[in-house]
Amino acid sequence: MLRIILFIGAGSFLGGVARYLLSQAVQSSANSSFPWGTMVVNVAGCLLIGILYGLFERNHVGNEALRMFLTVGFCGGFTTFSTFVHENYALLGDGNFLHAVLYPVLSFALGLLAAGIGHLIVRNI
């Protein structure tokens, strides 16, 4: 278990650094206030996690440490949006259409509400 956690931690570190570098590079060249850097990172993360899970399923990769390093670690550090999108993809693939609709809608609505509550808490301290 500790070995897997260390692999995830290493992947998270590298993914976080990659997210920062790519986001900054894109945003600085965009000359816009639109968050192009974050959007590019999120879409790239979705593409990467799709490729990784596709490869793992196709090739039946059994190395759990490698899978955890790349998906939970690197992709999770790069962007949690990629995991979110893949979970929605899996819900659709399983034919669970109600959850595939509820999950993103509730995640966005509750996340927006939570962010607003967080701002209110800080303003009232």
pLDDT band at 119 (very low <50, low <70, confident <90, very high): confident
Q: What is d(CA 39, CA 75) in angstroms, rounded to the nearest whole number?
A: 15
Residue among 50, 37, 38 at smallest CA distance from 85:
50
User: For residue range 13-51, what is the model confidence (pLDDT) as tens digits?
Assistant: 999 999 999 999 999 999 888 889 989 999 999 999 999
Q: What is d(CA 93, CA 10) in angstroms, rounded to the nearest whole number?
A: 30
Exposure on the CB side of residue 10, measured as CA atoms within 13 A: 12
pTM: 0.78
Q: Can you give the residue ranges of every domain in the chain? A: 2-79
* Contact residues for 23 (Cβ-Cβ < 8 A; gap 6+): 37, 38, 40, 41
User: For residue range 44-92, what is the model confidence (pLDDT) as tens digits?
Assistant: 999 999 999 888 888 877 789 999 999 999 999 998 788 889 889 999 9
C-alpha 56: how far from its chain's center?
A: 18
